[in-house]
Amino acid sequence: MNFQHVRKVRRAGAVALLASSLVFSVAACGGDDKGEDKAPSVSSDTGKGRGKQDAAGDPLPDRSKTLVTLKNDAGVEMIVYSAKRDSGGFLTVSGDFKNSGGESFVPPVQWSGQEEAVVDAGPSLAAMTLVDSVGKKRYYVLRDTDNRPLTTSNYELTIGAGKSLNFFAQFPSPPSTTTKVDLQFPGFPNATIEISG
């Protein structure tokens, strides 16, 4: 066997290994993409959004029920519509940030959290946490295999006057016996929200 033949065999083996690894990675990651790399649309549409998608293809929150409405010092409302258990052991919180003021609002860097690992993900809601006071546990936003937070990210740097930013954040699901958790997010008061599903 000559060296050229050995090199060809090694290359072919490496290509086959790489191809099978990529197929496995796609299969392992498929079906759960929440579009965290896409910038959600910022719009003035705060009507019922059941079953619809925003411009980025992310599902809009079901606005038929409001769990809680919180307000920060700048007059921006954080409206939480659902905290729903998903199949696979996840809890997804979804809602809108609504700027009811007369000036544009610049989301603070604190919304992205203080972890150095998620800095490269750009603006996100990685600082959001849930607290199960009965189980005495705190839940943080989940990360994907590239350490990107599974939450709305790379959104516009401002929310214009009268505009809204829809959001989602995924957490590990608390035990089924836990029906309520405390939502904590920088700049907004803490609030208790009810879990469905």
Q: Which SS3 state, helix, strand or coil, does residue 51 take?
A: coil
pLDDT grade for 128, boundaries at 50, 70 and 90: very high
Quote the CA–CA distance of 99 and 75 in Å, as a whole number: 7
pLDDT tens, 29-49?
444 444 444 344 344 343 334
Quote the CA–CA distance of 108 and 110 in Å, as a whole number: 5
Distances (CA, A) of 22 to 15, 30, 35, 58, 102: 11, 12, 20, 25, 49
Quote the CA–CA distance of 155 and 32 in Å, as a whole number: 20
Write phi, then psi, for 39 (nearest 5 degrees): -80, 120
Q: What percent of the chain is predicted at pLDDT more than 90?
A: 51
Quote the CA–CA distance of 155 and 53 in Å, as a whole number: 16
Q: Which residue has the higher pLDDT, 93 or 27?
A: 93
Q: pTM above the 0.85 mark?
A: no
Q: Which residues pair with 105 in a beta bridge?
A: 159
Q: Which residue has the higher pLDDT, 41 or 60?
A: 60
Q: Which amino acid is at 67?
A: L
Quote the CA–CA distance of 58 and 16 in Å, as a whole number: 34
Quote the CA–CA distance of 149 and 170 in Å, as a whole number: 8
Q: Which amino acid is at 184?
A: Q
Q: Which amino acid is at 47?
A: G
Quote the CA–CA distance of 181 and 139 in Å, as a whole number: 10
pLDDT higher than threshold 60 for residue 9: no
Write phi, then psi, for 22 (nearest 5 degrees): -65, -40
